[in-house]
Structure 1
Amino acid sequence: MAKRLTQAAYYKIVCSVYLLSTVIIWAFKYFNNRYNNYSIFKYVYYHTVAQTNLYDYYPKEYFDSNHYGILFGVLVAPFALLPDGPGFLLFTLMNAAVLMWAIHQLPFTIRQKTFIMLFSAVEFGNAAHYIQFNAIIAAIIILAFLLIEQEREQWATMLIAMGILVKLYPVVALTFFLFSKHKLKFIGWGLFWLVVFFALPLLITSKEFLVQSYIDWFTSLHEKNGFNVDLTSSQDISVMGTVRHLLQDATIPNWPFLLFGVVAFGIPLLRFEQYQHVRFRYQVLASALMLIVLFSTGSEHPTYIIAVSGALIWIFMQEEPFSTRNIILIILLVLLTGLGPTDTFPRPIRVGYINKYVMKAWPCIVVWLMISYELIVKDFAGLSITPEKEVERRPALQTAD
C-alpha cells in the first residue's frame, strides 16, 4: 500500500510540475511581451469575424502568418474574447491539462504514466515556450485511439474530424479505423462530424468566406512546404530534412522518403492476425504519433512533443523499460531531442552541429525504425502493455487480449 501511495505522490508531483512550469512560461512570455504565436491564434478568430484573409501577413498585429484551419477561429474564441493576460494563460494551461488528461487515460500503471510525463516534460516545455498547439494535437491522437479501444467511435471520430480541420496532423488517427469493431459506425459518425466542423465557422462568418478560407488554407500549406525545405529553415526537422542537411542539398525530393514511411507503416497493418493483441495496437499508436512528425516538412522544435510522446509510450509498455538499450534511448530523447536545440548546449555545438544536421530528429528516427521493425516481424501474442501486474489499471479503459 505504501508503495502505491508513493507512486501516486510522484505522479501528482510530476503533474504539478507541468502546471507550474506552464504558469512560469506564461509569466515570462506575457510580461516581456513575447507571445507572438498567441496573437496569431487570437486573430484567427477576429479575422474570421471580419472576413479578412486568414493567411495574409499582418505586421501591425503579429509577425509570421497563420497556418491553422478556419475552424481554429471558433475553438480559440473563448480565449480571444478575453484580455490577453488571462486569455493567454488559460490557453497555455489548457494545452497542459489536455495532454495530461490524455496520458492519464492510458490504461497503464501509475508508474508508467509518471515516467512518460516525466521524460516528455522537456518537450512539453518546448511546446509551451513556443506557444504551440502541438500538445493538444498529441492528446487528440491518443484520445481518439483510446475511445476506439472503448468502442466509442462517435467521440473518437469527433476528435479526429476536429483535429484534421485544425492542423491536419490527426489525419494519422484514421489508421485506427482498422481496429474499430464498428466500422460502419465509425464511417457514419466520421462523416457527420466532418460536416459539422466544416460548417461550424458559419456561426461567426459567411458561407463565401468559409469556402474561400479552405482554399486559401490549402494554398498556404503548399507554399509553406516550399519554404520549409530550405536549408536555413527552422522547420523540416524530419527524416527527409535530416538527409537534406547531412548532404547539404535542398533539392532532394520528399517522395522517396514519404513512400518509405507509408510502406514501413503500412506493412504491419496487413498483419490482421495481430490486431487482436493489445500490445500490437498500442505499438501502432506509438508509431503513428512519430510518423506524422518524422515525415512532415512542417516539423519544428516544438512539434516533437507529439513524436516523443509516442516514443515514450513504446518504451514504457515494454517488459523491461529500463533495459540498457532503453536507458540510452531515453537519455538521447531528453538530451539531444529535447535539449539539443536549446541554450543547454554551447552555441558552437548547437548551431554548428545539432541544428545544422537536424540532430534533434535522430533519436526519434532510431526509435521509430525499431518500432516499425517489431511491428513487421514480432509476434505480439501474450504481450502486455503493463509489465507491473501488481498495480491496478483504470477499469473504464482496461484492455485485454
Structure 2
Amino acid sequence: MSFLKVTAMNWQRSKFWGQFWPLRKLSLFLILLTIAVSLGPIHADHYNNFLIFRASFFHLLQGQNLYGLFPADHFDYYKYSPTFALLMAPWALFPTAIGAVLWNLVGVLAMLLAVAGLPLGNKEKSLLIWMVLPEWIGSMQNFQSNCLMAALVAGCALLLERNRVVWAACLVALAIHIKIFGVVAVVLAATHPRRWVFAAALVGWTLGLAILPLVFLTSSQLLTEYGEWFHLLRWDNAQSVGYSVMGIWEGLTGQRLPNLPVQLAGALGLCLPVVLQKIKTQQDRMIYLGQLLIWLVIFNHKSESPTFVIAMFGFGIWYFFSPRGRPQKVMVFLTLLMVSVFFSDVFPKGIRNDYVEPLAMKAWPLFATWLWSLGAMVWPASVSNECQSAV
C-alpha cells in the first residue's frame, strides 16, 4: 500500500479529517477557484483592499500614523487595529501578487474548516457551500477579510460546543482586532457553563494581542495609534449606512436615521434569546450562530456587497438547522435571488442602479430572516402557527 494511500486512510479516521475528507473534491475546487479569481484581471478598486492591508505593516514598521492617507500606496483609509497591521507580516513580505493570492487562500481555508466543523451531514455541508459561493467569490475578488471574520465567529461557536473556551475566546479576540464589531461574538458564550472562564480568557487574549505592536513601537506611539483608530471609527460611523437596516429605511423614506440607536435596538433583539433563556440545545445554539452572523451584516453601517458572505453563511446555518418546510424554501429562493442574482452581471444594470442598490434590497431578505428566526426562538408557538397557516 502506498504512503499516500495510508496517509489518506489515517486522515479519514481522524476526528477532524473524518468530517473534512468527504468534502475534499469540493474543497479542492474552491481552492483552485480562489487562485483563479485572485490571479484574474485585477482592477485598482478591487486590489486596493489588499494594498491597504499590506502597506499597513510597513507603515507600522516605520512608525507612521496608520490612519492617515497614503495616496502613493493606496486610496482610502486603513480602518483596522494596529495589531492587524502587525499580523499582516506573513503576507506583506511576499511580492504583492503572491501575497494577495495567499491572503485569499487563508480566508477560503478558514471558511472550509468552519463548514467542516458544523454538526451537519456532508450533503448539507456541500449545499451550504454552494449557497454561499456567489458571495464568497465577491469577497475574494475584493481581497477582503470577510471570509476570515465569518470563520472566526463560527469557530468560536464550534469550540464552545467542544468546551474549549480559552481557544474560543482567542478567536473572538482575533476577530476584534480585525474588525471591531467582532466583539459582538461574546454573546455566543453567554449561556455556556464556563462563561466566566471565557470572559477572563477574552480579556487576556485581547490585551495580549493589543500590545503586540510594542515589538516595533514605543508605548506612547501605540497609545497614539489606538487613539487615531477610535477617532477614525467615530468619524466613519456617521458617513454611510450601507446595505443595512439603516440603508433600507433611508432607501424607502429618503430620511437617514442615526446609526447608533438602530444598532442598539438590534443588539437588544439579538440578546433577547439569551436573556429569556431560549437557547438550550445544540440546534438552538447553531440557529443563534446563524442569527449572529446575519446581525453582523444587516446592522453594520459599512455593509457592502462583499460583506454579505458573512450574512449568507449565517443564513445557510439558520436554514440547515431549522425545520425545512415550504416557507423556509421560499425564503431560500428569495434570498438567493435578491442577495446574489440581483447583484450579478445577469441582472439588468439599469434596474440594479436605479432601484435595487438605492433601496438596499440586498439586506431585505436577510433582515426578514433575522426577524423570523428571532421570533421563532422567542415566541416559538405563535411563529410555528403562522408558518403552518402559510403552508
Q: Same fold (TM over 0.5)?
A: yes
CA shift digits 1:324-351 (9 cap, x unpaired): 3223222222221123233221111110
Residue in structure 2 matched with residue 369 of structure 1 by the alignment: 371
Residue in structure 2 matched with residue 115 of structure 1 by the alignment: 127
> Which structure 2 residues correspond to residues 107-146 of structure 1 after superposition, within 5 A?
107-146=119-158
CA distance in 1 between partners of 2:95 and 2:43 (Å): 14
Q: Report the CA distance between 1:25 and its aligned residue.
A: 1.2
Q: 1:176 to 1:32 in 2, by over 3 A?
A: closer
> Which structure 2 residues correspond to residues 167-178 of structure 1 after superposition, within 5 A?
167-178=179-190
- Ranges of 4+ aligned residues in structure 1 off by more than 4 Å: 7-10, 29-34
Q: Structure 2 residue aligned with 1:315, among 310, 319, 323?
A: 319
Q: 1:161 to 1:227 in 2, by over 3 A?
A: same
The one-letter code matched in structure 2 to 1:93 is: L
Q: Structure 2 residue aligned with 1:51, among 63, 66, 77?
A: 63
Q: Is 1:350 the equivalent of 2:352?
A: yes
Residue in structure 2 matched with residue 253 of structure 1 by the alignment: 258
Q: Is 1:244 the equivalent of 2:256?
A: no
The one-letter code matched in structure 1 to 2:179 is: K
| SS of residue paired to 1:35 | helix
The one-letter code matched in structure 1 to 2:110 is: V
| Identical-pair percentage | 28
Q: Report the CA distance between 1:34 and its aligned residue.
A: 5.3
CA distance in 2 between partners of 1:354 and 1:33 (Å): 22
Specify which structure has the bigger relative contact order, considering alpha-carbon pairs within 8 angstroms and separated by 6 or more residues: 1
Residue in structure 2 matched with residue 210 of structure 1 by the alignment: 222
CA distance in 2 between partners of 1:244 and 1:374 (Å): 28
Q: Structure 2 residue aligned with 1:271, among 256, 272, 276?
A: 276
Q: Report the CA distance between 1:262 and its aligned residue.
A: 2.4
CA distance in 2 between partners of 1:18 and 1:139 (Å): 15
Residue in structure 1 matched with residue 386 of structure 2 by the alignment: none
Q: Report the CA distance between 1:82 and its aligned residue.
A: 0.8
> Which structure 2 residues correspond to residues 359-398 of structure 1 after superposition, within 5 A?
359-378=361-380
Is the Cα–Cα contact under 8 Å of residues 283 and 314 in structure 1 kept in the other structure? Answer: yes
Q: Report the CA distance between 1:207 and its aligned residue.
A: 1.9
| SS of residue paired to 1:316 | helix
Q: Report the CA distance between 1:209 and its aligned residue.
A: 2.0
Is the Cα–Cα contact under 8 Å of residues 112 and 317 in structure 1 kept in the other structure? Answer: no
CA distance in 2 between partners of 1:31 and 1:120 (Å): 23
CA shift digits 1:266-295 (9 cap, x unpaired): 2211232x4332221111111111112111
Is the Cα–Cα contact under 8 Å of residues 71 and 198 in structure 1 kept in the other structure? Answer: yes
Is the Cα–Cα contact under 8 Å of residues 298 and 363 in structure 2 kept in the other structure? Answer: yes
Is the Cα–Cα contact under 8 Å of residues 112 and 316 in structure 1 kept in the other structure? Answer: yes
Residue in structure 2 matched with residue 304 of structure 1 by the alignment: 308
The one-letter code matched in structure 2 to 1:244 is: E
> Which structure 2 residues correspond to residues 186-225 of structure 1 after superposition, within 5 A?
186-225=198-237
The one-letter code matched in structure 2 to 1:310 is: G
Scaled by the length of structure 1, what TM-score is found?
0.86
Greater Cα shift, 16-25 or 77-86: 16-25
Is the Cα–Cα contact under 8 Å of residues 240 and 295 in structure 1 kept in the other structure? Answer: yes
The one-letter code matched in structure 1 to 2:253 is: L
The alignment covers a number of residue pairs equal to 363
Q: Is 1:105 the equivalent of 2:117?
A: yes
Q: Report the CA distance between 1:116 and its aligned residue.
A: 0.9
| SS of residue paired to 1:51 | coil
| SS of residue paired to 2:190 | helix
Residue in structure 2 matched with residue 76 of structure 1 by the alignment: 88
RMSD, matched Cα: 2.0
Q: Is 1:18 the equivalent of 2:30?
A: yes
Is the Cα–Cα contact under 8 Å of residues 49 and 143 in structure 2 kept in the other structure? Answer: yes
Q: Report the CA distance between 1:256 and its aligned residue.
A: 4.4
Q: Report the CA distance between 1:194 and its aligned residue.
A: 1.5
CA distance in 1 between partners of 2:372 and 2:57 (Å): 42
Q: 1:268 to 1:9 in 2, by over 3 A?
A: closer
Is the Cα–Cα contact under 8 Å of residues 11 and 111 in structure 1 kept in the other structure? Answer: no
Q: 1:9 to 1:332 in 2, by over 3 A?
A: farther
Q: Structure 1 residue aligned with 2:296, among 287, 292, 314?
A: 292
CA distance in 2 between partners of 1:350 and 1:58 (Å): 33
CA shift digits 1:102-123 (9 cap, x unpaired): 1111111111111111100011
Is the Cα–Cα contact under 8 Å of residues 158 and 189 in structure 1 kept in the other structure? Answer: yes
Higher helix share: 2
Q: Is 1:328 the equivalent of 2:312?
A: no
Q: Report the CA distance between 1:191 and its aligned residue.
A: 1.7
Q: 1:112 to 1:180 in 2, by over 3 A?
A: same
Gaps of 5+ in 1: 1-6, 230-235, 380-401
Is the Cα–Cα contact under 8 Å of residues 151 and 181 in structure 1 kept in the other structure? Answer: no
| SS of residue paired to 1:151 | coil
Q: 1:62 to 1:319 in 2, by over 3 A?
A: same
